[in-house]
Structures are given as C-alpha cells and as structure tokens.
Amino acid sequence: MFGFLKKKEPVQLNETLYAVATGNLIPISEVNDPVFSQKMMGDGFAIIPETGEIYSPIEGVVLSVFQTKHAVGMKMANGLEILLHMGIDTVELNGEPFNIKVSEGSKISQGTLIAEVDLQGIISAEKAIDMVVVITNMDAVKSFDLNKTGQVNAGEEIGTAKA
C-alpha cells in the first residue's frame, strides 16, 4: 500500500571497460588520427586487433548503428556515452568490411559480439584497423582510468569510466 516508503534497491552500475578485441591496446593519444589522438571527441583507448571479432566495451545498451556500419554508439547505465569507431577513415568504405551483429536498443555486456570486421578489407583499402573506443560526453565523467595497455584479450577488464 505504501510502496513509496519502501527503500529502493540501488541500481547496480557496471562502470567497467572491456577490451573489444584481442590485440594491442594503446591510449587514445597514440591513435594516428588527430580527431581521436587530440581527444576532440573525448577520451578513451584503441585496440589494434588480431582478429575481426569485435565485442562490446561496456555493459549497457546500443543507442545507434551508423548507416555506414563503421561505428556504434552505446550508453552505460551510469549515463556515459561510448562510441566504438571501427578503423580510421572507414566511413568511406560504405559498410563493406562490417557485419554488425547488434541493433538500436540491444542490451549489451561483456562478451556481446558487436561486429565481424574484414580486417584485410580495411587494410586493402589502405585504412588503419584501430578499433577506437571514445567516451563522448566527457562533461559527465567523474573519472576515467585505463589500467592496462599492450597485449589484451577480448573481454578482458581494462579500465573504468565513472560518472
């Protein structure tokens, strides 16, 4: 009857960031594109992948899949918005090397396959294969910590993003 008097269970916020692929993790400042390396879109990291299986960097929901399939927008439960940008200048490839496995509104978590990417197709087009993960609403970020660089495995915990 007096439901409003009951204590609400606190919402569990998973603020963990995960490796999107097996490969070499670098800070975003080392990405060979000034829009990313100078953090014009936000802070984050990139992975130079060994295989084309690209997984979710967060637990949350898919906000958007770009028409050219080269990027996927996501949102964490804490409100932080994440952009997964697959390759550098790959918008020009019109979706060719990307097989997207999620859609807008999909719930995602560690281990959710976001895309299968033809890495050789990107390389053949003379583009970089960096899988860039960017927090796009940095004004909402209380802390961003990258705990690991170098060799990582897909799904491995690599840092946190707190709002």
Q: Are 106 and 61 in contact (CB under 8 A)?
A: yes
- Give the whole-angstrom CA distance, residue 137 versus residue 158: 20
Two tokens at 148?
A: 């690991």
- Give the whole-angstrom CA distance, residue 41 versus residue 55: 21
Catalytic residue check, 70: no
- Reference 147, options 132, 133, 159; nearest CA is 159
> Is 158 in a helix, a strand, or coil?
strand
**Beta-carbon count within 10 A of 83 CB:** 21
- Give the whole-angstrom CA distance, residue 156 versus residue 67: 29
Q: Which of 70, 75, 85, 127 is catalytic?
A: 85
- Give the whole-angstrom CA distance, residue 99 versus residue 52: 10
Instruction: Report, as residue numbers or ranges, the catalytic residues.
Output: 85
